[in-house]
Structure 1
Amino acid sequence: MGSTLCFTDIHDSDGGSSSGHQSLRSTAKWAASLENLLEDPEGVKRFREFLKKEFSEENVLFWLACEDFKKMQDKKQMQEKAKEIYMTFLSSKASSQVNVEGQSRLNEKILEEPHPLMFQKLQDQIFNLMKYDSYSRFLKSDLFLKHKQTEEEEEDPPDTQTAAKRASRIYNT
């Protein structure tokens, strides 16, 4: 009995659920959450292009550097990476300084004893800054919308129709 129910659900959705196995369009994933965007190399690339125009690319670069840092095991590598992150993004002389609270309290001493989550608070701040600021603008930007449009054009509408028809044909037999 239960299986017929499931069957009708599929049928009622007009073959729509059969598209579930197709991968979601990247732009749809990117628009769903900043996390999704940052997990997709292409998304990161587009977001960086956008941030470059806004002169805030250092935010995403800092976030990515912190992600890499958290995966490190080797203490010596961690020390080097921590120092690099500090010098690039956090020190008062940093070339790509990010704007975070509490960075004034971060001094070079902590770099001698690095631990994977030492930048977590700052990384979270930057994540939220991007999420509530540049990310929402990115989703309205030409850069994003053009990419979305290109994706939609690549998906030939007749194809999707035949898939739906195919699906309904399968379920009707």
Structure 2
Amino acid sequence: TQSTLCFADIHDSDGSSSSSHQNPKSTAKWAASLENLLEDPEGVKRFREFLKKEFSEENVLFWLACEDFKKTQDKKQMQEKAKEIYMTFLSSKASSQVNVEGQSRLNEKILEEPHPLMFQKLQDQIFNLMKYDSYSRFLKSDLFLKHKRTEEEEEEPPDTQTAAKRASRTYNT
């Protein structure tokens, strides 16, 4: 589904100048809320780059893993994914341990009865941690600001180029 999503976005923002007002630039969407940022594959990519520099990439990876886990229907798959999430992010020996409340009380017992929302509380904690901590720093980071500048430059091409682009669009539809 990711590719169709991206394609739809490209298609939408490719319309006439009137529709571009309704489609805020991706950086504007990212700056509006962490939810928007995490819904955009490109946003996630940039945010991960930023968190990697801050040595806290595991937070967004955990959040994404939980999102994926919630969509899992198959019981066996759910068990496997739950174990993977636990071993990767929550266990005391986890390689990419996230810092959540009640961590010391967490043990493999939770894996015996997996259900879609079993990680919800922890996911919410990590979401809030990102929202009130790294997300605000991300919006001030060079990584974000560079992307924003690039977007703004792309928006103001020379008139001739715009006309040519418009013409090619008209014939290609």
- CA change 1:11–1:148 in 2 (3 A) is closer
CA deviation profile, 1:9-45 (whole Å, cap 9, x unmatched): 9999999993466522000000000000000000000
- CA change 1:73–1:171 in 2 (3 A) is closer
RCO greater where, 1 or 2, for CA within 8 Å and sep 6 or more? 1
Q: Percent identity?
A: 94
- CA change 1:61–1:160 in 2 (3 A) is farther
Give the 5 Å matches for 1:75-90: 75-90=75-90
Structure 1 runs not aligned, ≥5 long: none
| Count of aligned residue pairs for this structure pair | 171
Q: How far apart are residue 85 of structure 1 and its match?
A: 0.3
Aligned residues of 1:58 and 1:96 also touching (Cα < 8 A):
yes
Provide the residue aligned with 2:23 in structure 1.
23
Aligned residues of 1:69 and 1:116 also touching (Cα < 8 A):
yes
CA deviation profile, 1:48-69 (whole Å, cap 9, x unmatched): 0000000000000000000000
Aligned residues of 2:82 and 2:111 also touching (Cα < 8 A):
yes
CA distance in 1, matches of 2:74, 2:39: 24
- CA change 1:104–1:163 in 2 (3 A) is farther
Q: How far apart are residue 142 of structure 1 and its match?
A: 0.1
Range 55-64 or range 16-25, more displaced: 16-25
SS at match of 1:104: helix
Q: How far apart are residue 128 of structure 1 and its match?
A: 0.2
Structure number with bigger Rg = 1
Q: How far apart are residue 171 of structure 1 and its match?
A: 25
Aligned residues of 2:13 and 2:19 also touching (Cα < 8 A):
no
- CA change 1:165–1:19 in 2 (3 A) is farther
Aligned residues of 1:18 and 1:164 also touching (Cα < 8 A):
no
Structure 2 runs not aligned, ≥5 long: none
Q: How far apart are residue 103 of structure 1 and its match?
A: 2.0
Give the 5 Å matches for 1:3-152: 18-19=18-19, 22-152=22-152
CA distance in 1, matches of 2:15, 2:166: 8
CA deviation profile, 1:80-132 (whole Å, cap 9, x unmatched): 00000000000000000000001222210110110000000000000000000
CA deviation profile, 1:111-156 (whole Å, cap 9, x unmatched): 0110000000000000000000000000000000000000000001
CA distance in 2, matches of 1:81, 1:171: 48
SS at match of 1:157: coil
